[in-house]
Structure 1
Amino acid sequence: MVFWTVTALIAFSAALLLAIIIIRAREQGEPAAAYDLRVYRQQLREVDKDLARGVINGTDAERIRTEISRRILAADAQLQKRKSGRSQPRGLSLGFAVAAAVLITGGTLGLYWQLGAPGYGDLGLQDRIRLAGERAESRPSQAEAEAEVKPMAPPQVEEGYTKLVDQLRKTAGERKDDANGQALLAQHEANLGNFKAAYEAKANYIRLAEGMVNANDFSELAELKIMAAGGYVSPEAQADLQKARAIDPSHGPARYYWGLMLGQIGRPDLAYREWAETLRDGPAGSPWVIGIEGQIEEMAFRAGVKHQPVMPGGGAAPALPGPSAEEMSSASELSPEEQQEMIRGMVTRLSDRLATEGGSAEEWARLIGALSVLGETERARTVYDEARGAFEADADSLELLETIAAQSGLAE
């Protein structure tokens, strides 16, 4: 209520000032008739000087004085009329002043009501973090988001390609246990813009692969869901991104969409940090780096920080410890049980190192997210409590930990 009162008073004051100016009908500078009078009087003096010097005779001097006197009388009459009368009707001025006051005051409040955030009070940092956590938990589901997306025109493809995809759909439907068929179907459905059918086929592939999947599979599944939702990162897509990041913390596409999700739930500060680190890790020219470069300045503006250009692949900040490329390559040759054991082993090693040597808030946050993905909720909660105690004096680190905890369903 205080905001509305102050805003109305400011708008009314501006309108009142304009109304006073309109009603008083002030003119800047002197009237033209006053200048003419000075000129004519100077001309009279010049006539006397010319007559004294013999430049003109008496008859001409008298004729010129008569003409100048006539002009002086006309200019004086105009000046007197200007002083005694108004340059514009009083009623019209008053009506215009009232209309301007109503337009300025009402227009200001109306524009704010449409474009502003009525009722949105000042919030402290902790309140904003809490609201971001609530928004992350209560935001629309994948199905709800898809229902709001306007249908797009299908891409232009050859008729023969459409027939081949129809045949692929039929074959994949008959061979529901064929993982490769589901993978092909996901790819070609995406080519046709059928993103829902594409991510359903991709989910079938991941299910049929029985653990023989990597971070790229979960990242692609999340990306298809995001595209089906018109660019919105739903809770379901977020869960897939968490799985991709648990397997490979340095996976570029997953990091890009993770930052996009943080921006959507109201944490542009964490999103900017995530994107800046992803840019530093590179590589330059990769699709996710190009996507970040086109949006990071706006994210920095929303976060209230000054963006410093980051050279992709510059290596200004080392990547957090994670599985090596050789480990990820060998993981594809393991059985599902061996893959799960490998992931748990990496999580255990990270947990032991943090417990004995300590680490950054980002590493603690990664461990919390990985444990929640593995279903070890109680252990994740214990790690969260330990990390919160270790970084109780670091506000930025606490923000990161609290956001991860809220996204993992651990925050109270």
Structure 2
Amino acid sequence: MLLSANDILLFLGFAALTALSLWMILRPLRGAMALPERAEGESEIALYRDQLDEVARDLERGVIGEKEAQAARIEVSRRLIAADEARIAAERSKGVDDPRWRKVAAISLVLFVPLCAIALYLMAGSPGLPGQPIAARLNVPAEELPVEGLIARVERRLKENPQDIEGWESIAPAYLMLGRYDDAARAWTRAMLVDGVTAARLAARAEARVLANNGTVSAGARDDLEKAVALDAGEPRAQFLLGMAELEAGDREAALARWKALVAGAPEDAQWVPAIRARIAAAEGRIEIAPEDEPLIRGMMEGLAARLEDEPNDLEGWLRLIHAYKVLAEDEQARSALATARATFGQDADALARLDEAEAALDK
């Protein structure tokens, strides 16, 4: 979302006011931290004053003479002056708090900061914009709402009428789209409680559970899938996910057989068929070619085959041709090209070893 110049100005103004407020609040605390040092300086001064009094008492009792008393007074006075100067310097450098500063800080916080905030809002904000409660914001045409808004609207409707089957069947796919897989599974459960169990609903709940489990078919999801195909053997989502479970279990042939049967029985206009074919190709270790790309690939392959008739000693060309036939699932032509290549390189052990690798790839 792009910010306007007013938005940026408003943000910077509030940030500056926040910083100023914090500084005013923390400065007295900083001064309070200096109090122990201040108390220490004053105690030293009091000590020297006590020493001056002690010198005077000693002189009165005759313990010391006038000269000794005078010398002691000079020395103690020198230390007293030095201690007092050090105290004053410390107060200036540490910024010791005083009542006047506290009053200024309090008045500024109470008056200046709110007034500045109001001025900034009046200048860069939208004080004339009417309030928009959540209910009012949701009561707009559906095409004007984001997905989250649509979900909030349906959730509100379902809270008022939990028997609304259309609501449950519309919110479950929306949850799925937003990655809220557990919510999607719960929504399908509510739909089945309201309107009964169907193969499509079981398959949809299983899909949500699989996605919530990082793409792994859990025991609960598999149970849903088996119940779904028991109700409708042609349910495509259930058959596809059961094939995924078989593939995860290491039974690749069972998964391929299930998917190929699903594709063979699919309607001509089924939009999910290309995705299943791509899965089949991936499980078989080959590339699924889009119908619009096949003429180009076949033309390149036929050109390569024609060139190899004139230049049969090109081993890399034979290997590319064999692989191209495999990609197009033309195993008979691939093996024919392999046999021709073997005959051509019958005396080259290295070439025959690479052709053996190509044959092993055909058997996978």
Higher relative contact order (CA 8 A, sep 6+): 1
- Structure with more helix by fraction: 2
The TM-score bracket by the shorter chain reads 0.3 to 0.5
Task: Give the alignment's TM-score, normalised by structure 2.
Answer: 0.37
Highest CA radius of gyration, 1 or 2? 2
Task: Give the alignment's TM-score, normalised by structure 1.
Answer: 0.33
